[in-house]
Chains A and B, each alone.
Chain A
Amino acid sequence: MALLEIRGLSRYFGGLAAVNDLDLDVLDSEILGLIGPNGAGKTTLFNLINGFFPPTSGEVIFQGEEISKFKPHEIAKLGIGRSFQQSVLFMGSTVFENVFTGFHMNYKTGLLKQFLHTPAVREEEENIKQKVMEILEFMGLASQKDELAQNLSHGHQRILGLCIALASNPELLLLDEPVTGMNPGETVTMIGLIRQLRDRGITLVVVEHDMKAVMSLCDRIVVLNYGRKIAEGLPGEIRENRSVIEAYLGQEK
């Protein structure tokens, strides 16, 4: 069964169709690669799924629920997390605080109790602090927990972005260029981490330009160009697909 279904989704910016009548299924517990030349509409698609802007037309259905009119924070509550293209982090806070803040939705105590800082709240915070450490240890950032996010290396910043997204306990995770700008060693680590997330039952959609990484990581690949889907299939099929090669390299004369 498809976890996320996209039906006839379009988004226009003025006269330009960034996403044009797109149909897409994301299956349960798969890693779906989303590739395409610059400006193909990949990030726009993420922004539509995650509610940063509303679609011009079409539907986004997550677990049987139409969510295209929802606000970003409501969609996050349903279980769609995302990481960003640039390192969007809480830069002035420490690594630990970054992930701790990411746990915003997991509190069960009410706001008044929060304000009064009752023992129940203290206990809850202790539990969450433990979960923060679990995530940091799992992702290999535990040793840097007191470092400011802005002082981390690029690779570690990307991993921290993933940690924050994990804190919201998502079922579907949208990763925007997770390995771009990383050195080969960092890329291997990141790919390993993403695989482990899938093994934990998280479904992932990955936008990435690093073809080697995409081909080795993804179960299935969808190719976009000018906001349309031009190909879909297993990594091997995509590599041989004529229209994909044309989209990237231009037509043969």
Chain B
Amino acid sequence: MVKKRLLPIIGVILVLLPFLVRNDYLLHLIIYMCMYSILGMGFSMIWKNRLITCGQAGFWAVGAYTSALLVTRAGLSFWFALPIAGIASALFALLIFFIALRAGPLVFFGMSLVSSFIVMEVLGSVEFFGGWEGLLDIPSPSIGSFVFFTKTSCYYLVLCLLLVNIIVYYALYKSRIGRAWTAIGSSVQLAEAQGIDVYRYRLAATVIACFFAGVVGAFYAHYQNLLIPTTFSFILSIYVQMYALIGGLSYFIAGPIIGAAVMVFLPEFLRITEEFQPIFFSILIILIVIFLPGGILSIVQRVPRLSVILSQIGKRIGVLQ
């Protein structure tokens, strides 16, 4: 109930954010946070089926390169390239996982890991994709004469993607499909015995997650205006897992957003340079796993319990008086 009352306030803040922040670098970080949250939510959706993916960076790259190549080589408009990038990434996921999933969760994990390496190697080694120097001069998205070049305009664009992503995921989680995923996540045997086609539902979750990873990749390509294969390294896939884990693995939408926010902003505020970030994140994740295994959002769940305890103490004192 509190959540519903908070929604319009959050909405107003999100829309006015560029005018509140008035700082291009901070806005740049927020745009990254939005992109990372979408990747993290994809990981969460796959995790809901108790599958662990190590390859979201690879699917991000597939989307990014598809869109960049379509726009620079084929002269397509960004607005057409965006959904095509998502579909390309989804098809790539389908190709890899429709066999791997039949062999079980462990093979799924292995294949996702391998796919992220393969994607990076292929993008770097094949001249057509721009090689290790990368693809340069990718145009910014534009409508008519308006070009999405300023941070503010790009922020609104990525915000739209994030909202669409959240709405789609929310609708899925609320439906029978989401209930089937929850069932698979809690007991594969029981889900099967209730007539749920575990293989198909798992594949669907993977493909949907990779579709959105591809869409966000397309935005990334045209936001950065250049693509370098090494950006899409395996470590990014690990970071994607960490967004979901730090926020809270049982919070499938809010968790990755909070996790991405923490992992983007905390190193900035603590002034930790890029080289030391992996060490910092490692320590952070160890602390989270030990002290907050439910993620940062699990604190929220503990607060009502605190209020119950406080009121009970209050009652006791009342009785004593």
Contact = CB atoms under 8 A, between A and B. Distances in A.
A14 to B, nearest CB: 20
Contacts of B187: 88-91
B183 A90 contact: yes
A62 interface: no
B97 to A, nearest CB: 18
A81 B180 contact: no
A68 interface: no
Contact of A115 (B172, B189, B198): B172
Contacts of B179: 97, 100-101, 104
Interface stretch (A25-33, A69-77, A194-202): A69-77
Contacts of A168: 193-195
B288 interface: no
Contact of B190 (A89, A114, A121): A89
Contacts of B172: 115
Contacts of B321: none
Contacts of A114: 175-177
Contacts of B197: 71, 73
B72 interface: no
Contacts of B180: 101, 104
B175 to A, nearest CB: 4
A242 interface: no
Nearest to A113: B175
Contact of B189 (A52, A97, A165): A52
B177 A82 contact: no
Contacts of A51: 192
A24 B68 CA distance: 64
B196 A73 contact: yes
B176 to A, nearest CB: 5
A87 to B, nearest CB: 10
Contacts of B14: none
**Chain B binding surface SS class:** helix
Interface in A73-105: 73, 76-77, 81-82, 84, 88-93, 97, 100-102, 104-105
Interface centre among A90, A100, A111, A164, by most chain B C-beta atoms within 10 angstroms, is A90
Contact of B171 (A50, A71, A100, A117): A117
Contacts of A107: 176
B192 A73 contact: yes
Interface in A14-50: 50
Contacts of B190: 84, 88-90, 164
B182 A104 contact: no
Contacts of A91: 186-187
B5 interface: no
A211 B198 CA distance: 36
B192 A115 contact: no
24 contacts: A52-B189, A71-B192, A73-B192, A73-B196, A73-B197, A73-B198, A76-B193, A76-B194, A84-B189, A84-B193, A88-B187, A89-B190, A90-B182, A90-B187, A91-B187, A93-B186, A104-B179, A104-B180, A104-B183, A104-B195, A105-B194, A115-B175, A117-B175, A164-B190
Interface of A: 50-52, 71-73, 76-77, 81-82, 84, 88-93, 97, 100-102, 104-105, 107, 111, 114-117, 121, 164-165, 167-168
Given A100-B179, A104-B179, 12 more contacts: A52-B192, A72-B192, A76-B193, A84-B193, A90-B186, A90-B187, A91-B187, A101-B179, A102-B194, A115-B175, A164-B194, A167-B194
